[in-house]
Structure 1
């Protein structure tokens, strides 16, 4: 059996229109009903101590997608209008993927014992667009989960960028500065603007800077233009100790990420200063990472220009 053929831009648009014209396509009901053990695991992972869900036999609204997520080996009957579109983009070389938008709407709680049924509608394809990651297309779709009596439980709008990763250049890359020398440019470059420049200047100098309000002193991360407490636009920063603990984490196995080798750990790190920051955990195997693990900041040169803050285990 041969895979999907490479499509031209007009053919991709034609396929997108075709998939959108299908409208809402019902999937198969969830393999398992909404159940208390899964709800308990979810609450534990999220650090949610609200007993209402367990006592009343209802699921947290954000769990809607959990009940119908397919496994690695999917049946043909589980394919949605999105699958053919994403396969066509993969065949066209747009193999990179990064989620850009996720908006959820909740109609009611899912109840223990009911099986949810997903329905997917492909909304559209935009592109090609030139982005920092490479040329790509933005694909958007909507999923509605239905419960008993065909009643909508939750909806989700999801959008991804499917991009063509930059090709590695032949021969050694040019040397920008003596240390570190000759590295391939790291493809995933963080946004630098007036709100974030102070943070990246600190990383360059080996400092973990946290934005603070110059009026009320409240710390905030990620950085932003206005204090959420007093609405002041006057900004400053403090230098954090560079220590923290794992609040939550994921081990990323798939899909491939340009410039990274899988698996790798992405953690939400809780700082003693009172804010949380997202970063990679390095210098230890993924299966050694756990909630509450003590970490220290470390700064890694990704190429000749970019330095990223990461986190490594600390003894005490």
Structure 2
């Protein structure tokens, strides 16, 4: 939908949305399995819940119960459908409401809160079903995620006799995602190169230097390729360089970059080479051995990178 409304009046769209209030989205639907001890065991082990009434009939009877009971927090789990079942089912009014919200641009969803009321404990052998109806759909609200609507539904959980054992008020925010500029891909920072990116954030272009033979090297590494020493320090580059080679990238497009994108290997005055971007120059005007000078690109608060522009150019 690309977050855009179809051509229709706001009033008509609102009328269609509000027509779902009070409507049953999911008719009374039985769970796939009855309440059972093996699933309870998996649940309490995963949750770290050591309450013995969930697995020990003796401990449960000591509390006045007839036998083990299921954790109340499992109520929803007894009616959840597997992925294969969900994808093979026919469309429901719930799917229709989701499609209508997407039609209005509300294509994303996040759960906001859930309120449970329990009427009795579930015990092994109970057959649990659930029915879900719409309680309310809010007017459009401005949220930190984007303009959206709060959809509140009520799920009623029943046993085999049709008696309600629990109710759940479930609220979600369906929203139109706010447009955000795509982040430039993050560099792979590790123990060997983190010093380089930390210096770049301070707008210092440094070059790793072997402390034993004083050979400069880039990209950074733990060991000198010439004398195999692990001792090193850095020197600060002058920022003068020449274009050693370059490519003009058109594909694949990435929303964080502007195209055509000039990607170059520049040779620093100190002798090492660096992969970077060229700025302030058209692709047709780039030439091998062209003098370039350093400037800094503040990509975002977490990332600053060196780029180069023609040395004869002025900002």
TM-score normalised per structure 2: 0.49
TM-score by length of 1: 0.49
| Structure with the greater alpha carbon radius of gyration | 2
